[in-house]
Amino acid sequence: MTPDRRPTPLATARGAFAASIAALAAALAAGCGAGPGPASLFPLEPGHRWRYDVRTEWENLVVEHEPREIRTTGQAQIGDATAWARRSADGVEWYLRTDDSGVYRVATKTDLDAEPRPDVQRRYVLKSPVAVGTQWQASTTAYLLRRRADFPREIRHSHPEVSMHYVIESLDDVVDVRAGRYEGCVRVRGQAQLRLFADPVVGWRDMRLTTTEWYCRGPGLVKLVREEPAGATFLTGGTLTMELLQWN
């Protein structure tokens, strides 16, 4: 989830979700190989707080760390229906809903916005059923790819909307993070391509954007890895890892 970090990195950084009986029932009804419902992997009820370490390794070998804190704040009215809100310490708010199709974002808001900005269409974080092979599409952007010389350097300014294809790859991963060890985690992988002018020799090239996320019962999102390699004369990229430090 992926959140999708708009305007901050991701999924994504991404959100947490309230329990939904309908979503859970849909996942269980999928039969053999189905895991827990999406809502059971993303607590959205108010009172939760997550602390993450965001580590960015750039291709020039520079390593940066950034703390990230996210909390759930309860329900809010978005359009003609309510949604669950979560807010990051840097002032970005996400509004999410859940039904028998999964859990999805419906709006975002920054401290510069007077009102939440509705999404044009549902942006799924986890889609039902939670089973290996479940797929969906969602928009993303390039969070790490940059031009070495041209301005603006960040590719996301010229390519704000890129379609990413997500698939649930596993239901039983074991994940070790600084917050602890979690078993039975759901692994989701997202992949996209962005065609950019790489250098005068190879010209235009399809640059890979890859996101791997792990969702575990209890805390929800415990780890996210975003890979945007460049390896080009005109471009630079890197890898971002978001790791759970603490939650309640």
Residue 15: inside a domain, yes or no? no
Average pLDDT over residues 106-123: 93
pLDDT value of position 35: 53
Residue 32: inside a domain, yes or no? yes
Residue 11: inside a domain, yes or no? no
Residue 199: inside a domain, yes or no? yes
Average pLDDT over residues 219-242: 92
Which of 158 and 124 is assigned the larger pLDDT? Answer: 124
- What CATH number does the domain containing 86 carry? 2.40.360
Residue 116 and residue 207 in contact, taking contact as beta carbons nearer than 8 Å: no
Residue 223: inside a domain, yes or no? yes
pLDDT value of position 146: 76
pLDDT value of position 231: 80
- Domain of residue 152, residue span: 21-247
- Does the pLDDT at position 132 exceed 90? yes
> Which of the four pLDDT bands, split at 50, 70 and 90, describes residue 154?
confident
> Which of the four pLDDT bands, split at 50, 70 and 90, describes residue 22?
very low
- Give the integer Cα–Cα distance in Å for 84 and 98: 9
Contacts of 21 (CB under 8 A, 6+ apart): none
pLDDT value of position 21: 24
Residue 77: inside a domain, yes or no? yes
235-138-32-29 Cα dihedral, nearest 10 degrees? 170
Residue 14: inside a domain, yes or no? no
Residue 63: inside a domain, yes or no? yes
Torsion over CA: 167, 19, 42, 32 (sign):
negative
pLDDT value of position 36: 66
Number of domains composing the chain: 1
Q: Number of C-alpha atoms within 13 angstroms, CB side, residue 202?
A: 15
pLDDT tens, residue by residue, 167-222: 999 999 999 999 999 999 999 999 999 887 777 677 787 889 999 999 999 999 99
Most trustworthy range by pLDDT among 68-72, 144-148, 154-158: 68-72
